[in-house]
Chains A and B, each alone.
Chain A
Amino acid sequence: MEFFSKFISPFKSIRLNEKNALTGYLLDHILVGTMYAEQQSAYLNSYETGLSKANISKLVKTYWEISNQDEAIEILQRLHDRNQDENLNIVYRAFENQENYVEILKSNLPDEEDAFVYYLNLFRKLKNVVPELKELNVITDFFQLKKIKDTGWNYGRGAFLARCCYELGYLSQNELIEYLAKSHTELKKYCSTWKEYTTSYIFGRAIWGGSNNNGMIQIANDLLNNNNSPLRNKTYI
């Protein structure tokens, strides 16, 4: 059955849980993970993902290398901490000032070689990703990304991963509720609208994975425009 569900699920757009659907602010909180959830063909409106145990296990253990509660908390916390990285602002500033990028990066980034190379590679990725996102009409100007950064990608993955960890028993329901609420509050500092959230998610994924973002763009459009989507009638986060 699992074999067939893998083929069928990509064609099933917008999965909603009709038995245990969340409403109100709890729904808003869970929607932070909506891009990742839709990517995995999971329920968008409940704590339960609606995915098989085997699928969740594979995602959490193989892709995220989480096999216990401690590892889950560590990874989920890291996804929140990434957004407070001040060095990202330096990389963005260097990207905007092509004439002085060398000076900006050399004088402001950490001297440690590994750290410097990490941010230098981010800078290089920006140079590839930003023109591509403009070409795909995801953004019209880099200015849009300066504010939202890749927070949608970080908080979004964290929110859905937390649901998976909850289903595997690594988080209690209270911990999940608390984590989702925090994700929602933090995300609002960067993204005002759900449209900004999806843009930020696409940007973060492009930085991570490079080209071929048409699938993500389609998911974002579906979430924002499909009549069944919980985001359809929500503009602001």
Chain B
Amino acid sequence: MHLAGGRLRDFARGCDALGGGGGGQARYALPLAAHAVELTGPVQVVQPAELPPDGLVMPCTFLGAPAIGAERIGTCREAATIRVHIERHFGKPVVAMLCNEIGGFHGAASVALAAHAGLPMLDADGMGRAFPGMSRVAMHLAGVTPDPVVLADEHDRVVAVHAGDGWAERMARSVVVGFGDRGVSSEYVMTVDQVADAVITGSVGKALRIGELIGEAASVPDAARAIVAEFDGLLIAEGRVTAALPEPGRHTPATIEGTGADSGRTLRLEAGHEYLAVIEDGEVLATVPDIITVFDTYTGEALGAGELRYGQRVVAVALPCPDVWRTPAGLDLVGPAAFGLDLPYRPVAAS
């Protein structure tokens, strides 16, 4: 499997769908990925079994404020710089890049980073969706240490943070502040051996498949039906947004009123940086960490939590999250309570 051309566009669509309203929009990272692939050729997507067991897997992601990233678009060579430092530190070659967060912007951006670093991408990621925060990754649950966190800016300034769990994210963030609120970082570097139990496997292929389903469908609701059928999700409803968030990032509910076959239904959509829960008549239909996705039926785009507006025609679906998030430790980290919701977690069941 490789990523290039039209498959990149499909992949980006799938990343947006897996963002669950968070993680920024993959469509904004798509030009970066397309240009990188034009320079370096297609990015190969590999399985752990294809890699040498003692080779290093390097997670890599952008950090900082979106408004800064829109101006300081960087070189994506930051990933190559970080790779050199990691290889020097560990004394071993890096054999693959790992996408930290498949959902949204970072999923598509990781293709650009991998291409510039000259690495294939592992068919996996750290979240299986999008979450805010550096430690909400499967690697953390598996006990992999984030150290050293290696950060670089677009002028090849590099900082390695050896601060231990709990402090790594704090120190890394203050380094990014020093860079001017924009940088690229790598943490939770692993050997291929370690990867099996420490990442969410199959994420890249899943995003690509979701994007293909969207591209093949005759209409957006058809695409939503195809996606829930293939990934054991729940088609929540078709409807129109009748109340939207006054500000992104706030815990304020949006309302979706059913249309067509769903007429008469009213859904409450709790949202923060991403969609957190869907509630109908006091009954919870889906919550984090399951993935709640709202497609605009006119454009087919997966709407970010900050993009909801009155009057939009939408179709909402919920997809089951990776199993690791459904464990007690996983729910501690990313369950409804971790996002300030006083709701029980009820796993999404296939419709």
Q: Do A and B come from one complex?
A: no
